[in-house]
A and B are shown apart, each in its own frame.
Chain A
Amino acid sequence: MAEYKLLLEHSDDTAYRTLDGYRKKGGYKALEKAVKMERQAIIDEVKASGLRGRGGAGFPTWIKWNGLPKEKVGKKHYVVCNADEGEPGTFKDKQLMEETPFLLVEGMTIAGFATQGDAGFIYIRGEFIDAAKALRAAIDEAYAAGLLGKNILGSGRDFDLYIHMGAGSYECGEESALMSSLMGERGMPRLKFPHAPLPTISGLWDSPTLINNVETYTCVPFIVNKGGEWYQTLGAATKNSRGTKIFSVSGHVNKPGNYEIEFGTTLNELLEMSGGMKGGKLKACVPGGSSVPIIDAEMCGRAVLGYEEMSDVKSMVGSGGCMFLNEHTCIVSFIWRTAMFYAQESCGKCTPCREGTKWMLQIMERIVAGNGQPGDKELLLEVCSQIDGRSFCGLGDAAAWPVAAAIRVFPEEFDYFIANGKSMVKSSKDLMLVP
């Protein structure tokens, strides 16, 4: 299958970033439609579309939307957009916010209508200054045109939208940590269901809160406009993945960048779109952002991009940060760099992640420094198993998966490095990703 441009259709058109240009291409038709719809009808439309969270977990979006109280009980409802795109290898939200900001604004406004949201917050990664500027301009325009604020489109309903810049923490992309950070607390994850109520019941300031990824919200105008029935025809070849997904292709490819595809496209097709491999044959691929398990070339050959389909190759769609690595890449060094990232980004709250990520890094460090000890590979696997599923939030799991998967898929590279003190890949010295 070829590229399917839905969200990114007008991304090259600079006029699309202004309200006029956006409206000319059919923008805000969805909101005009939505204000006339029953709240539940919007949610039902999202349900029919089969839209799943694009942040990485793939949780059915409508369940979140449906989870907020139908009648307000004295508390405000909040709509939060997770734009703290920090997963290494992923840069789709950045482009969406910079080039199609109105899609996000419109999508969040519709979400606000569907869930009786009083205010929306876009939590943007601190480094995304251009994205924040683009959104600021879009929000200002929307306010001026009566598309945000009081009595939107004469519906009698209000919705305010705020931008909040993060301060540089990967952990704040975790939804509960994001909410802590948004409330001015230290960016640490909070208790989650069943240990605490769901955010849809008690989230931001203990109020019902809807939180979705940027890409998820940008899908909403299309779903409302063209109907959930239409949307769910996209990706119908897959088991349970509907619509389009933007993959951020990077690594040793000729044309790195964001590629929007229909679910069901194969990984090979994605590689072709991005111009094929550069500098050597395909060796491995991290298909969904640095935290998902790495797969080798053989697996790449049969990988189909879909939430369930990817588990056939023991990996995940994740956030869509697809990194292709050529034959000159030293997997051990690659994993060392990944481990360094997670050791730096662990918030420190829980023991397994705080101590385990650092220990893994120390082991990886001594291996790449040529001081690997016999048994280090097994020790790494042990440490991974002591983190995986034991940590407070997903960061621990995300730190353990790539290491465990790399050892599973490329055990010989680890054995060679530990035994010989140098990489199995001859030219890896040049390509080693030095921090």
Chain B
Amino acid sequence: MATVAATDTVNIVINDVDLQVPKGELVVEAVKRLGHEIPIFCYHPRMKPVGMCRMCLVEVGFKQPDGSVRKMPKPQAGCTLPVSEGMVIYTDTEMVHRDRKGVLEFLLINHPLDCPVCDRGGECPLQNNTIFYGPSTSRYIDIKRHAPKAFPLSEYVTLDLERCIQCGRCVRFTEEISGDAQLAFRFRGAAMQPSTFKLTDFDSKFSGNVIEICPVGALTSSKYRFRARPWDLETSEGLCLECGNGCNVWLDHRAAKLVRVNGRTNEAINEEWTCDKGKFGHDYYNSSKRLTQPLRREGDRFVPVSWGEAYAEIAAHLGAKSAALVGSTVSNEGLFCLQKLFKDGFGSENIDHRWTRTLPAAGERVAKRHESSIASLEHKKTVLVFGADLANSQPIVHLRVRKGWFLNETRVVVAHSQTTDADSFANLLLSCKPGSLDDLAMGLERAVAEAQKTDVQGFASFKDTEKTTSVKESALREVAAMLLEGNASIVCTASIYNENKPVETLAALAKIAAATGAEFNVYAEGGNDEGAMALGVMTGRNTHEILQDCAMGDLNALWLVGADPLTLHPSRRLAEDALEAVPFLVYQGLLECEAMGYASIVLPMEAPGEHDGTYTNIEGRVQRMQQAVKNPGDGKPAWRVFSELLVRIKPGRPSFSAKEIMDEIAATHPAFAEATYDKLEKEGTPLKPVIENFYM
């Protein structure tokens, strides 16, 4: 309705242009509508404005009834001033330019101007603003402030205090976004400096972000320091596969080598943040332990062989009595080709990608895996985090949940037997005894049932629940009441399968969700685990059975695709026995590892950023990552290996590109129907919800 819109917007004038903007919008945002820019340092659209740097000073006036404009006596900070009816804003007057020059002169008097050796040089907001708005020379002839040039705040973040302009972005990030409050200002006046408490380690799971939001080169990446100049870098749109969130990143590479990972904005997933795993955990790309060529075991050593020889060897040894175990960073295309290779080529269905303690038997269904999108979590009234340490396993989901709590009054309930980062802000903490999550879920189910006055026969009494879990009846009832208020989401991760009786736990939670109308999520954990589930990469024998069969001598060959059972499988002993006993082991991976020692054939694999491919994140969003860097050796993408091998075994037309395979996936898997390369959207395409039940 027009009348409603009129109350929600205000009429303002920016540089003589009349404009209608939403009420309460900040001046610094409002001017963007006209394509004007107000220079900023401390302001960040995702954090509360503070008005510290004074770079955004503008002249502001108000229209008087007689049509004249009465200017406010002082210039106003555009980053903190909300627009109001009749406001007149000038961003281009002599006074505004003079003020900008003044602020920049102040900022530069104590800035070392060591741009030629600064990581930020070339992509530095201070440089840019100085060039556009600053004075050309300085009138400062006194001694500049000096400080240690490279103070290690942590293993990853190095602070150059001399360059700091005290904008407080980093401090506010740790207070408002990551919530770990690791940084604060100490001292005052010109001596004020950002610091950790008592200079202890900057212990955060999101510390890398402060490097990116620092408007100068004060916070630098210890891993990237002095590795490249920005103008030498090429950048590609990448994805992070350290967990299943599917964060968008920029892969910055120099001379075909990956040197830096930065957050790339995707409002649906990571906004613009990264976790430290994603930002710093890319050493393997350039690791000296990278496998560069196919190897064949000869006695107690490996000898390089050609791909053809390796294929011949594999084709000769793999058959119906073989199996494959898959890691979490293989693309959708790779998984699809692997399935095809095993089914059509070897006549085996024994493939699995799950590594949890309990693997539900085929036929056990969990109807819902991701009802809530990541972005929707910040608008929930209640989020119940059940048995998940989100900050560790799904860091970006953790940030969303916290954002909802911080900005939108989302009530967060954490139920876990361990301490998690979310405990610090949880509105309610259900801290249960280790191994009692199943009892807790059933206790909660009873509380919901009682609140709804449905039959509670067969449930354990609250007293018994308290005995087994140590969680009180009142707390359970409170959570039930919160869930029943509606707009709630229950968040679990696949880690629940490492707990006691996961099937019963999930069944109870599913019933709670159904009874309360809450959304229910059991988010996958690994990079492309969701893709593997959507493609059904869990046919035939499961992980435990495959390893047992190997150990018992029932399988002739095992293929490890980017997976090391010795580190992934909960039982190392079983994994060792299996690898020891299996007569023929193919290890295909990025790096040398322990499992490789048992292999008959070793195949180098391309890292995710080294080839084209699509990946499915925890909310079922299919995203494409194009090739960013070159493989350092003779590695091949997984799908190509499977496809080439299949042609050898069963002559036919091989797949030539990832795009082609994706078309094939779209044709055969209804969920992927919209996920072809031609149709993929910028923010990723959600899987079509055509399949309701998946085997977990």
Interface residues of A (CB under 8 A from B): 169, 171, 186, 191, 194-196, 343-352, 354-359, 362-363, 366, 373, 379, 382, 385-386, 389-392
Question: Assuming the A-B contacts A186-B184, A195-B77, are A348 and B190 also in contact, with contact meaning beta carbons closer than 8 angstroms in the complex?
Answer: yes
- Per-residue CB contact flags for chain B residues 103-122 toward chain A (1 = under 8 Å, else 0) read 10111011000000000000
Q: Within the assembled complex, what's the spacing in Å between the Cα atoms of A373 and B141?
A: 10
A350: chain B residues at CB < 8 Å are 51-54
A345: chain B residues at CB < 8 Å are 188-189
Q: Within the assembled complex, what's the spacing in Å between the Cα atoms of A345 and B141?
A: 23
Given A347-B189, A349-B52, A355-B109, 8 additional A-B pairs, CB 8 A: A351-B52, A351-B106, A352-B102, A386-B99, A386-B106, A389-B75, A390-B75, A392-B51
Q: Which residue in chain B gives the minimum CB-CB distance to A188? A: B185
A355: chain B residues at CB < 8 Å are 106-107, 109-110, 190
A373: chain B residues at CB < 8 Å are 141
Q: Within the assembled complex, what's the spacing in Å between the Cα atoms of A358 and B189?
A: 8
A196: chain B residues at CB < 8 Å are 80
For A194, A345, A349, A356, the residue with the greatest tally of chain B CB atoms inside 10 Å of its CB is A349
Question: Assuming the A-B contacts A196-B80, A350-B53, A366-B142, are A390 and B188 also in contact, with contact meaning beta carbons closer than 8 angstroms in the complex?
Answer: no
**Ordered nearest first, which 4 A-B pairs have the shortest CB separation?**
A348-B192, A386-B102, A355-B106, A358-B190
B81: chain A residues at CB < 8 Å are 194-195
A348: chain B residues at CB < 8 Å are 166, 185, 187-192
Q: Within the assembled complex, what's the spacing in Å between the Cα atoms of A357 and B106?
A: 10
* Contact status A356-B188, CB under 8 Å: no
B102: chain A residues at CB < 8 Å are 352, 385-386, 390
Q: Within the assembled complex, what's the spacing in Å between the Cα atoms of A382 and B139?
A: 11
* Contact status A359-B185, CB under 8 Å: no
Q: Among A347, A349, A363, A390, which residue has its beta carbon within 8 angstroms of that of B103?
A: A390
- Per-residue CB contact flags for chain B residues 51-76 toward chain A (1 = under 8 Å, else 0) read 11111010000000000000001111
Say how far B383's CB is from chain A's closest CB, in angstroms.
24
* Contact status B185-A379, CB under 8 Å: no
Q: Within the assembled complex, what's the spacing in Å between the Cα atoms of A344 and B109?
A: 18
Does B509 have its Cβ within 8 Å of any Cβ on chain A?
no
Say how far A209's CB is from chain B's closest CB, in angstroms.
20
Q: Which residue in chain B gives the minimum CB-CB distance to A363? A: B142
- Per-residue CB contact flags for chain B residues 183-215 toward chain A (1 = under 8 Å, else 0) read 011011111100000000000000000000000
Say how far A341's CB is from chain B's closest CB, in angstroms.
11
Question: Assuming the A-B contacts A346-B189, A349-B52, A373-B141, are A194 and B106 also in contact, with contact meaning beta carbons closer than 8 angstroms in the complex?
Answer: no
Can you list 20 A-B pairs, Cβ within 8 angstroms, ordered by A?
A: A344-B189, A348-B190, A348-B191, A350-B53, A351-B54, A351-B107, A355-B107, A355-B190, A356-B106, A357-B189, A358-B189, A359-B106, A359-B109, A362-B143, A366-B142, A382-B139, A386-B99, A386-B106, A390-B75, A390-B102
* Contact status A392-B189, CB under 8 Å: no
Q: Within the assembled complex, what's the spacing in Å between the Cα atoms of A195 and B110?
A: 29
Q: Which residue in chain B gives the minimum CB-CB distance to A392? A: B51
Q: Among A186, A191, A389, which residue has its beta carbon within 8 angstroms of that of B80?
A: A191
- Per-residue CB contact flags for chain B residues 339-361 toward chain A (1 = under 8 Å, else 0) read 00000000000000000000000
Q: Within the assembled complex, what's the spacing in Å between the Cα atoms of A55 and B139?
A: 36
Say how far A400's CB is from chain B's closest CB, in angstroms.
12
B191: chain A residues at CB < 8 Å are 348
Q: Which residue in chain A gives the minimum CB-CB distance to B171? A: A186
B53: chain A residues at CB < 8 Å are 350-351
Q: Within the assembled complex, what's the spacing in Å between the Cα atoms of A101 and B314?
A: 93
Interface residues of B in 32-49 (CB under 8 A from A): 49
Say how far B374's CB is from chain A's closest CB, in angstroms.
30
* Contact status A351-B190, CB under 8 Å: no
How many residues of B are in contact with the other chain, CB < 8 A? 41
For B54, B75, B99, B140, the residue with the greatest tally of chain A CB atoms inside 10 Å of its CB is B54
* Contact status B54-A392, CB under 8 Å: yes
Say how far B61's CB is from chain A's closest CB, in angstroms.
12
Q: Which residue in chain B gives the minimum CB-CB distance to A375? A: B139
Q: Among A347, A354, A390, which residue has its beta carbon within 8 angstroms of that of B99?
A: A390
Say how far B607's CB is from chain A's closest CB, in angstroms.
44
Say how far B165's CB is from chain A's closest CB, in angstroms.
7
A363: chain B residues at CB < 8 Å are 142
Q: Within the assembled complex, what's the spacing in Å between the Cα atoms of A346 and B190?
A: 8
Does B22 have its Cβ within 8 Å of any Cβ on chain A?
no
A354: chain B residues at CB < 8 Å are 106, 166, 189-190, 192
- Per-residue CB contact flags for chain B residues 159-199 toward chain A (1 = under 8 Å, else 0) read 00000011010000000000000001101111110000000
Say how far B528's CB is from chain A's closest CB, in angstroms.
44
* Contact status A392-B52, CB under 8 Å: yes
For A344, A348, A366, A389, the residue with the greatest tally of chain B CB atoms inside 10 Å of its CB is A348
A366: chain B residues at CB < 8 Å are 142
Q: Which residue in chain B gives the minimum CB-CB distance to A396? A: B54
B129: chain A residues at CB < 8 Å are none
A351: chain B residues at CB < 8 Å are 52-55, 103, 106-107, 165-166
Q: Within the assembled complex, what's the spacing in Å between the Cα atoms of A157 and B170?
A: 46
Q: Within the assembled complex, what's the spacing in Å between the Cα atoms of A358 and B77?
A: 22
B468: chain A residues at CB < 8 Å are none
Q: Within the assembled complex, what's the spacing in Å between the Cα atoms of A253 and B171?
A: 49
A382: chain B residues at CB < 8 Å are 139
* Contact status A389-B142, CB under 8 Å: no
Q: Within the assembled complex, what's the spacing in Å between the Cα atoms of A352 and B190?
A: 10
Say how far A56's CB is from chain B's closest CB, in angstroms.
17
* Contact status B106-A343, CB under 8 Å: no
Q: Within the assembled complex, what's the spacing in Å between the Cα atoms of A362 and B99?
A: 21
Does B125 have its Cβ within 8 Å of any Cβ on chain A?
no
Q: Which residue in chain A gives the minimum CB-CB distance to B189? A: A346
* Contact status A391-B188, CB under 8 Å: no
Say how far A351's CB is from chain B's closest CB, in angstroms.
5
Say how far A76's CB is from chain B's closest CB, in angstroms.
19
B57: chain A residues at CB < 8 Å are 390
Q: Which residue in chain B gives the minimum CB-CB distance to A346? A: B189
Say how far B197's CB is from chain A's closest CB, in angstroms.
13
Question: Assuming the A-B contacts A379-B139, A386-B102, are A186 and B185 also in contact, with contact meaning beta carbons closer than 8 angstroms in the complex?
Answer: yes
Say how far A316's CB is from chain B's closest CB, in angstroms.
16
